[in-house]
Amino acid sequence: MDFFLTLFSKYKCLVYTAFGHERYLQIVHKLSAHGVKFRTRSYSYGQSHLGADGAGMFPREDRTQYDIYVKKEDEHTAHMAIHSK
């Protein structure tokens, strides 16, 4: 997380790192269902060589990393929500 975002944000506690949009949506749904507010920081990783299959319109795998942050006082509730069935 950028220095200034970390310094001024209320959402400083990293509770989960999801890889891929599908997994991110599963976790976010659980947090929302339990009333936990969160912020997300995403990083996209593409193929590093030319002619890669993932460079087209329909990449084979989603390599996006989603870091999900909550407020410190919501950390326990967030973990309970993430690990619930």
Question: How remote is the C-alpha of 8 from its chain's centroid?
Answer: 19
This prediction has a pTM of 0.77
Rounded CA-CA distance 56/50 in Å is 11
Name the residue with tokens 């976790």. Answer: 27
Which three-class secondary structure state does DSSP give residue 70?
strand
Chain segment 26-48, per-residue pLDDT in tens = 999 999 999 999 999 999 876 55
Chain segment 44-84, per-residue pLDDT in tens = 876 555 555 545 566 567 889 999 999 999 999 999 999 99
Name the residue with tokens 């659980």. Answer: 30
> Please, what's the b/e burial string for 3-26 (b: 16 or more CB within 10 A of its CB; e: otherwise)?
eeeeeeeebbbebbebeeeeebee
